[in-house]
C-alpha cells in the first residue's frame, strides 16, 4: 500500500505541476519545460517591410562555399533601397504576393485553410507587416569588393507582364543585373500543390570569369503564430535536416545567444521554419556542398539560410540552379515526395516509432469514413481492442482489490498505527487471495507510450485543422465551444474512480476524487479532437471495467453457493 500511495502522490503532484505550468504559460511567463520563451504580451514592433528586408542581413557575414579572391562574402546590409512593386499570383491553393524589390515572396495566403478568427478570410503563412514578418528571399553573393550581385535588396523587373500559364502550372519570372551578372528568378507554381519550383539562372555579362554563390533564405520574427495556445506546447522556429544529423530544430532564444546547434556544411538536406500545422522550407539541389546558417539579423528578427557555389561562369555563359520551396501545411505524404525527410517537420519526438504507424492507420481509416471525428473514435476503439488483454488484467486486479476492501479496512482497524504489522497482514492476504497490488498499475504503464504517441498525432495533424465532427463540433483543432466534451470526460473519470476500490487512506481517496477536476480542467483548453479521444477511451474503459467486474461477481456468487 505504501507503493500505491507513492504512485498516487506522484500522479497528483505531476498533475498540479502541469496545471501550474500551463497557467504560467497562459499568463505569458516562460514554460517550466521549454527553453523557448512564450510571448503573449504585445510583441516589439518589427521593422517596416522595406527596412526589414534591408536589416535582415545587417552585420551578417556569410562565407560562400567557393568564392574568388577579393570577392565580397557579405550579404547586403542596410543600404537604402527603393520600394518595389507588389505582384500577386493566384492558383488553386495559393494567393501569393511577390515584391519586385529582390523578387521576394512576401505574402502567402493558403486558400484551403480558413483563418481561425474569421470564417471568410484564408489563413496566411508568409507576411511582411510590422510585428508579423515572415518572408522567403534569395540572391547572389561573391562579387568583388566594392561591387555586388543581384540580392534580395536589388530592384528586379518582371520578365513578362503577366504570369505564364502552362497546363497545370503557372510561371512568373523576375530579372535584375548587378556587378556584371544578370540573375533570372523563375517561380513555377503547381495549381494544386504547395511545392514551388524555383530556378535561378546567372548570366556572366563581363569579360572575366565570375564565381557567384546562391543563398536561399527564410526570414521571420520571433513572435508566436496567431491563436497559439498557452495550454499545450507546440514548436515554432528554424530547423535543419541532413542525412548525417537528421532533424535539428533550434529555438529563437538559442539563435540569439549563439547556442543553436546544427550541421553547418552538408551536401544534402534542407532548411525550414516550422510552426504548428504549417512550415516553409528551402530544398537546394541534393549532392551539392552548401553552408547552413541560423542567426539573429535584427531586433526580434531571425534568418535560416543555405549558401552554395554556382561554380565558375565564363564570359557570355550562364549557369542555373534549381531549388524547391515549400510554403504550406505539414502534409506528410506530399512533403515526403519533395525531399527526403521533409515530412519529419511533424516532430513526434521519442514516440516517433509508434506515432508514424498510428498516423498512417488514422489516414487509412479516414479514407473509409471521410470524417476525422469518426476516425478518432474508430482509432480509439482499435487501440482499446489491441490492449484489451492488458486492460482486462488491470480491471480484474482492481475488481479483486475492491472485493477484499472490507477485509483491508478490518486490518486497518485491528492494527491501528502499527504500519509494519498492517502491511505484513495485507501482503499475506494478497498472497492467499492471489492478488498483485500493482496489477492494476503495471498494464497501464505499458500503454503510456501509445497514449502519448496518439496525443502527439492528434495534436500535430494539420488534417484536423478546420475539420468538423458532428453537431456543435465544427473544428476538431480548437477547444469545444460549449465545453460539453470536457464535462463528459470529467464525469466518466468520476465513474471510473467509483468503480475502483476505495483506498483505505482518506488522503488517497481525496486525491483520487480531485484528479478528474484537475485533468478535466486542463481539457477545457485542449483541442476538441484530443478531448474526444479521451471521452471515447473513458467510456469504453467503463464498459470493459463494468463487464469484467460483473463477471467476477458472478464467479464469486457461484463459488459461494457451491
- What is the Cα–Cα distance from 239 to 377, expressed in whole angstroms? 33
- Using N-to-C axis directions, what is the helix angle for 528-561 and 442-460, rounded to 10°? 160
Q: Pick from 149, 109, 136, 154: which is nearest to 304 by CA?
A: 136
Q: Pick from 538, 452, 455: which is nearest to 491 by CA?
A: 538
Would you place residue 537 in the very low, low, confident or very high pLDDT band (cuts 50, 70, 90)? confident
Query: Which stretches of 500-527 are DSSP H helices?
Result: 506-523
CA distances from 45 to 37, 130, 286 (A): 17, 6, 38
Pinpoint the residues of the chain covered by CATH 2.70.98.90.
Answer: 49-346
Q: Is the pLDDT at 112 greater than 70, yes or no?
A: yes
CA distances from 488 to 5, 106, 447, 547 (A): 27, 45, 23, 21
Name the region of 237 (left: φ>0; alpha: ψ -120 to 50; beta: rest).
left
How many helices (H) and strands (E) in the chain? 13, 19
Q: Is the pLDDT at 52 greater than 50, yes or no?
A: no
Entry pTM: 0.76
Task: Quote the pLDDT of residue 54.
Answer: 41
CATH fold for domain 49-346:
Beta-galactosidase; Chain A, domain 5 (2.70.98)
Burial 516-545 (b: 16+ CB within 10 A, else e): bebbbebbbbbbbbbbbbbbbbbbbbbebb
DSSP single-letter state for residue 438: T
Name the region of 481 (left: φ>0; alpha: ψ -120 to 50; beta: rest).
alpha
Q: Pick from 124, 519, 526, 147: which is nearest to 328 by CA?
A: 124
Helix, coil or strand: residue 558:
helix
Q: Is the pLDDT at 131 greater than 80, yes or no?
A: yes
Task: Quote the pLDDT of residue 49.
Answer: 38
**For 303-327, what is the mean pLDDT?**
95
Would you place residue 51 in the very low, low, confident or very high pLDDT band (cuts 50, 70, 90)? very low
Task: Quote the pLDDT of residue 411.
Answer: 74
pLDDT (tens digit per residue) in 21-47? 554 444 444 444 443 333 333 333 333
Lowest average pLDDT, out of 73-77, 114-118, 529-533, goes to 73-77
The answer to whether residues 34 and 18 touch, using CB atoms and an 8 Å cutoff, is no
Amino acid at each position: 500500500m505504501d507503493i500505491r500511495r507513492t504512485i498516487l502522490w506522484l500522479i497528483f503532484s505531476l498533475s498540479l505541476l502541469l496545471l501550474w505550468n500551463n497557467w504560467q504559460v497562459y499568463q505569458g511567463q516562460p514554460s517550466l519545460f521549454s527553453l523557448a520563451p512564450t510571448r503573449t504580451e504585445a510583441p516589439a514592433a518589427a521593422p517596416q517591410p522595406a527596412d526589414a528586408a534591408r536589416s535582415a542581413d545587417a552585420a551578417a557575414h556569410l562565407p560562400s562555399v567557393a568564392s574568388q579572391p577579393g570577392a565580397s562574402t557579405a550579404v547586403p546590409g542596410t543600404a537604402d533601397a527603393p520600394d518595389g512593386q507588389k505582384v500577386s499570383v493566384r492558383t488553386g491553393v495559393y494567393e501569393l504576393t511577390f515584391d519586385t524589390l529582390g523578387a521576394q515572396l512576401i505574402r502567402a495566403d493558403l486558400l484551403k485553410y480558413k483563418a481561425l478568427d474569421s470564417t471568410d478570410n484564408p489563413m496566411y503563412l508568409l507576411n511582411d507587416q510590422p510585428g508579423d514578418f515572415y518572408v522567403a528571399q534569395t540572391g547572389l553573393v561573391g562579387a568583388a569588393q566594392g561591387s555586388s550581385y543581384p540580392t534580395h535588396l536589388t530592384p528586379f523587373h518582371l520578365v513578362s507582364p503577366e504570369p505564364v500559364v502552362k497546363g497545370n502550372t503557372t510561371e512568373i519570372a523576375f530579372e535584375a543585373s548587378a556587378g556584371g551578372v544578370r540573375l533570372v528568378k523563375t517561380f513555377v507554381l503547381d495549381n494544386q500543390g504547395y511545392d514551388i519550383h524555383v530556378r535561378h539562372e546567372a548570366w556572366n555579362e563581363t569579360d572575366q570569369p565570375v564565381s557567384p554563390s546562391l543563398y536561399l533564405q527564410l526570414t521571420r520574427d520571433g513572435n508566436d503564430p496567431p491563436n497559439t495556445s498557452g495550454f499545450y506546447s507546440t514548436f515554432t522556429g528554424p530547423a535543419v535536416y541532413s542525412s548525417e544529423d537528421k532533424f535539428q530544430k533550434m529555438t529563437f532564444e538559442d539563435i540569439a545567444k549563439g547556442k543553436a546547434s546544427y550541421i553547418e556544411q552538408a551536401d544534402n538536406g534542407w532548411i525550414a521554419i516550422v510552426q504548428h500545422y504549417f512550415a516553409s522550407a528551402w530544398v537546394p539541389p541534393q549532392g551539392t556542398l552548401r553552408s547552413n546558417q541560423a542567426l539573429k539579423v535584427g531586433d526580434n528578427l531571425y534568418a535560416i539560410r543555405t549558401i552554395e557555389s554556382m561554380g565558375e561562369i565564363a564570359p557570355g555563359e550562364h549557369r542555373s540552379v534549381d531549388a524547391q520551396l515549400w510554403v504550406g501545411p505539414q502534409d506528410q505524404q506530399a512533403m515526403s515526395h519533395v525531399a527526403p525527410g521533409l515530412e519529419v517537420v511533424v516532430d513526434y519526438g521519442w514516440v516517433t516509432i509508434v506515432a508514424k504507424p498510428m498516423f498512417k492507420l488514422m489516414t487509412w481509416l479516414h479514407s473509409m469514413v471521410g470524417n476525422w471525428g469518426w476516425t478518432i473514435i474508430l482509432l480509439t476503439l482499435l487501440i482499446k481492442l489491441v490492449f484489451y488483454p492488458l486492460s482486462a488484467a488491470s480491471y480484474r486486479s482492481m475488481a479483486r482489490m475492491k472485493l477484499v476492501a472490507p477485509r483491508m479496512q478490518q486490518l486497518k482497524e485491528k492494527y491501528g498505527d502499527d504500519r509494519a504489522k498492517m502491511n505484513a497482514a495485507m501482503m499475506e492476504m494478497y498472497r492467499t487471495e492471489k492478488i498483485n497490488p500493482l496489477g492494476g498499475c503495471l498494464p497501464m504503464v505499458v500503454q503510456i507510450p501509445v497514449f502519448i504517441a496518439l496525443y502527439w498525432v492528434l495534436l500535430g495533424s494539420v488534417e484536423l485543422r478546420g475539420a468538423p465532427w458532428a453537431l456543435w463540433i465544427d473544428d476538431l483543432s480548437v477547444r469545444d465551444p460549449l465545453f460539453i466534451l470536457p464535462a463528459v470526460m470529467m464525469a466518466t473519470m468520476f465513474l471510473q474512480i467509483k468503480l475502483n476500490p476505495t483506498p483505505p487512506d482518506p488522503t488517497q481517496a481525496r486525491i483520487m476524487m480531485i484528479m478528474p477536476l484537475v485533468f478535466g480542467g486542463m481539457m477545457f483548453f485542449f483541442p476538441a479532437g484530443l478531448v474526444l479521444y479521451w471521452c471515447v477511451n473513458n467510456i469504453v474503459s467503463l464498459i470493459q471495467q463494468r463487464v469484467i467486474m460483473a463477471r467476477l461477481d458472478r464467479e464469486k456468487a457461484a463459488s459461494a453457493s457451491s
